[in-house]
Structure 1
Amino acid sequence: MHRRRVWPAWARPSDITDLLRLSGPIAVSRAAMMLMGLTDVIVLGQNAPSELPFVLNSWLPIGVSLGLTMGLLLGVSVLTAELSGIGRGAETGRIFRRGMKFSLWFGALLTVGVVLLVGPMFTLLGFEADIASGTTAVSRILAYGLIGHMITHVAGSYLEALRRPLVVTAMMYFGVVVNLIIDLAVVAGWWGMPKMGAEGVAIATTGTRWFLVILFLIAVWKFTPAFRSSPDGPPGEARRQFSVGYGMAVSNVAEWGGFNFTFVVATWISTAATTVYGMAVHVIGFCFMAFLGLGTATSVRVAEAYGRKNSEQVREASRLGVVATVLIGLVLGLVVWVFRAPIAGVLVKSDAVVDGVTIRPELLPIIGFTAFVLVFDGLQNVASMALRAQNVIWPPTTVHLMSYFLIMIPATYYFGLVRGGGAIGMMQGVLLASVIAGALQLVLLERKAARRLKPTRRPA
């Protein structure tokens, strides 16, 4: 009897199309979030590059706070996708409302904590008085936008899980325009406004975030059942909604905290090293948005298959995400390598000097080096998100803790400060940690994908 040939998911057009249809808008949307930060760096780099360390170091408390909460809110996306995958999307309003309540009370706690503690923290880290003072001021302004970040994250995740990514994309890019206008006004001093430097960047970020809150809540009200009555969930659903994100919360603290602490290490080297290294990390971060889109789309497809208890679809959705990550990572790496000079030109003026160092020549080689980081950074993200979408929580978290705390921070300190490698030495430490994280997450995914489900037969 002739059997129809069954292609693996990474070679099956229908699966590839579905992944791209979902991940493309999400990646573009996530790129908007990073584009806001990149816009800040460009405008500040062109006008007051010596104040860039204030913004970079402020993301140690702010980034850790956001990473923690985004992890704890992962359940909004996962549970919504599971219910939608079995035809019960109309019941998901309770998932959204739980996420909103959490954002309000937990965001308020984080805001108070950051405002009160950042001053003593940066003094204890040994910063010079002017750097500590500038970073503290920026951190406090950014803290007032934490609740806004959390609300837009809940709303955006909910819309994407219900397969409304284009709505999120449109609003995020409107936010990019608003952020740029505020940057030009209070950082570049356009339209007769005062040049406020790094504090102007923080004002733009916080103001834009609260503007987006209004847009996102209107979109959720119009396009989803978020504010409609829904039946009570099964016992334990509320606990699971937050527990599914525990591992990602710890991972985010490790990855975001680790990366942001490397800015502290760079500051110990010199203000110039911080500026050059920070600009290069923003190039990685902008490219990373493609992988965040792939990871989010992969986790939605995996969660849908997991909700249907289909082990074969779980494995194939996971592997398709990995194959797509490798291919896109290679393309992005090639683009960054080839266009490293124009990228450096956009980030900083050719004659910009920080701490007695001309920045542009120092920036060129480190931007080229980031090309080697991209594939591995993408792999660790997509593989770990695919694992969590099927309730494999703590193994990927352990990998993140080991890679970004136990390896990356000491490696950047050693190569950058002890060995005197400066910014390029620090990027070598980032590459080492990314290679280890990407390889280990991939091994975990292959060993554990769909192991908790009984295997299903392939169609004849």
Structure 2
Amino acid sequence: MRRRRVWPAWARPSDIADLLRLSGPIAVSRAAMMLMGLTDVIVLGQNAPGELPFVLNSWLPIGVSLGLTMGLLMGVSVLTAELSGIGQGADTGRIFRRGIKFSLWFGTLLTVVIFLIAGPMFRLFGFEAHVAAGTASVTRILSIGLIGHMLTHVAGSYLEALRRPLVVTVIMYAGVLINLVIDLAVVAGWWGMPKLGADGVAIATTGTRWFLVILFLVAVWRMSPAFKPSSEGPPGEARRMFSVGYGTAVSNVAEWGGFNSTFIVATLISTAVNTIYGMAIHVIGFCFMAFLGLGTATSVRVAEAYGRKNSDQVREASRLGIVVTVLVGILLGSLVWIFQAPLASILIKSDAEVAGVPIHASLIPIIGFTSFVIVFDGLQNVASMAMRAQNVIWPPTFIHLGSYFLLMLPLTWYLGMERGGGAMGMMQAVLIASMVAGLLQTALLESKAARRLKPARRLKI
């Protein structure tokens, strides 16, 4: 008699379908965020490639601020999913409103600080005068949209945790269209508008973000209990809401700060190296949006199971997220490898030069090399998000700190500058750091996080 194949518990078709149903729209909506940045790079690369370092370097203070606040606001998604998972979705409005209040006051503080320190900061790095001035100008314009970024993050996370990801997707792609129109107007100079270069990119990003705030608040008001009265939360809920994200905030500062600091290193080598390396990083970043979708969906499923105190389901949801991440990473990496030359042509003209250096030919092999980074970059993200959804906060944070600050930054300096490897040497450093982070986060998830709850009771038959 033929034995029936027994699949692992995490591979149940219903669970796979649930993960894909949730992660697909989230990944598509997250891709919209990166697509805006990629659109900026493409339009600027086709019109003023020499100003691309202004935009890339400006994301050191802006990106670190966003990473910090997105981490601190992670509790919006986690607590909303937990309440929804136990049938208390009508009371999630207090979670949303708490996130909005935090975004307004903390975002205002960060905006003022960034606006004031932008000029001195980039002069302190030792940039050439025109690079420091251009970067400071872009940074100040982007800082005006920082609160808008935070508000849209709160609203989007809240709707996704309530399993309304399609709404978020539609709104985000409206933002992609608006961003493209503004880019074409003030970067490419369409419709008789002035070509503002990197400043135009910053104007497009900031204007789009505030446009999205309006759309998101209308959607939340119409489609959720966010603005309806809710019961008072249990003691300590507010503290837990932000403590859930402490580790994520530090991790984001480490990862985003580490990556954005590498643009500083690249600029100190040369503006040409910064341009080549920065464009290749955007390819990784665009692929990373798929893993943000998988990570968010996995964390929602894990948080729901964690709220039900079901250890088996926590473990299965985590493992399914990891397996799908590996498969998606291999697929995306293969596509990048196959289409490395066309991708380079999309990003920059074939005859473009920066500081007298031809860019296109040098960019192609760097893009190809990013295909090896992609799967490990996805692993570290999904595994760390799965752990934080079950209150494992600091171990993944320490891994991020070690990988992206203590390892990647010195390696980019050594391989890129000291060894003369340029953009390829820097990308090799990124691969090493991503491998360490991805493998350690996955091992930690499997060995520790899934055992934090007692196994769920099974009914006797």
Coarse TM-score class (shorter-chain normalised): over 0.9
| Residue in structure 2 matched with residue 70 of structure 1 by the alignment | 70
| Residue in structure 2 matched with residue 220 of structure 1 by the alignment | 220
* In 1, Cα distance between equivalents of 2:456 and 2:90: 28
| Residue in structure 1 matched with residue 425 of structure 2 by the alignment | 425
Per-residue CA deviations over 1:183-220 (Å, capped at 9, x if unaligned) read: 00000000000000000000000000000000000000
2:364 paired with 1:331: no
CA 40–86 in structure 1, closer or farther in 2 if over 3 Å, else same: same
**Secondary structure class of the residue paired with 1:371:** helix
Offset of residue 450 of structure 1: 3.1
Matching residue's letter, 1:135: T
* In 1, Cα distance between equivalents of 2:199 and 2:11: 49
Tell me, yes or no, if the aligned pair for 1:9 and 1:319 is still in contact at 8 Å.
no
For 1:55-454, what aligned pairs fall within 5 Å after superposition? Answer: 55-454=55-454
Unaligned runs of 5+ in 1: none
| Residue in structure 2 matched with residue 38 of structure 1 by the alignment | 38
* In 1, Cα distance between equivalents of 2:265 and 2:250: 22
Per-residue CA deviations over 1:340-363 (Å, capped at 9, x if unaligned) read: 010000000000010111100000
* In 2, Cα distance between equivalents of 1:96 and 1:406: 36
* In 2, Cα distance between equivalents of 1:269 and 1:457: 60
Offset of residue 9 of structure 1: 4.0
Tell me, yes or no, if the aligned pair for 1:280 and 1:366 is still in contact at 8 Å.
yes
Offset of residue 448 of structure 1: 1.6
Matching residue's letter, 1:444: L
Per-residue CA deviations over 1:64-114 (Å, capped at 9, x if unaligned) read: 000000000000000000000001000000000000000000000000000
Offset of residue 6 of structure 1: 6.6
Tell me, yes or no, if the aligned pair for 1:333 and 1:375 is still in contact at 8 Å.
yes
Matching residue's letter, 2:372: F
Offset of residue 7 of structure 1: 3.7
**Secondary structure class of the residue paired with 1:120:** helix
Q: Count the aligned residue pairs.
A: 458
Tell me, yes or no, if the aligned pair for 1:9 and 1:317 is still in contact at 8 Å.
no
* In 1, Cα distance between equivalents of 2:163 and 2:90: 13
- What's the TM-score once normalised by structure 1's chain length? 0.98
* In 2, Cα distance between equivalents of 1:20 and 1:101: 32
Tell me, yes or no, if the aligned pair for 1:9 and 1:16 is still in contact at 8 Å.
no
* In 2, Cα distance between equivalents of 1:378 and 1:231: 38
Taking only the aligned residue pairs, the percentage that are identical comes to 79
CA 10–450 in structure 1, closer or farther in 2 if over 3 Å, else same: closer
* In 1, Cα distance between equivalents of 2:456 and 2:6: 14
* In 1, Cα distance between equivalents of 2:81 and 2:431: 34
CA 458–351 in structure 1, closer or farther in 2 if over 3 Å, else same: farther
* In 1, Cα distance between equivalents of 2:235 and 2:81: 19
Offset of residue 455 of structure 1: 1.2
Offset of residue 447 of structure 1: 1.3
Q: CA RMSD in A?
A: 1.2
Per-residue CA deviations over 1:392-446 (Å, capped at 9, x if unaligned) read: 0000000000000000000110100000000010000000000000010011101
* In 2, Cα distance between equivalents of 1:447 and 1:246: 22
CA 224–5 in structure 1, closer or farther in 2 if over 3 Å, else same: farther
* In 2, Cα distance between equivalents of 1:92 and 1:5: 42
Per-residue CA deviations over 1:262-320 (Å, capped at 9, x if unaligned) read: 00000010000000000000000000000000000000000000000000000000000
**Secondary structure class of the residue paired with 2:231:** coil
- What's the TM-score once normalised by structure 2's chain length? 0.98
Per-residue CA deviations over 1:40-62 (Å, capped at 9, x if unaligned) read: 00000000000000000000000
**Secondary structure class of the residue paired with 1:173:** helix
Matching residue's letter, 1:216: F
Offset of residue 458 of structure 1: 5.4
| Residue in structure 2 matched with residue 48 of structure 1 by the alignment | 48
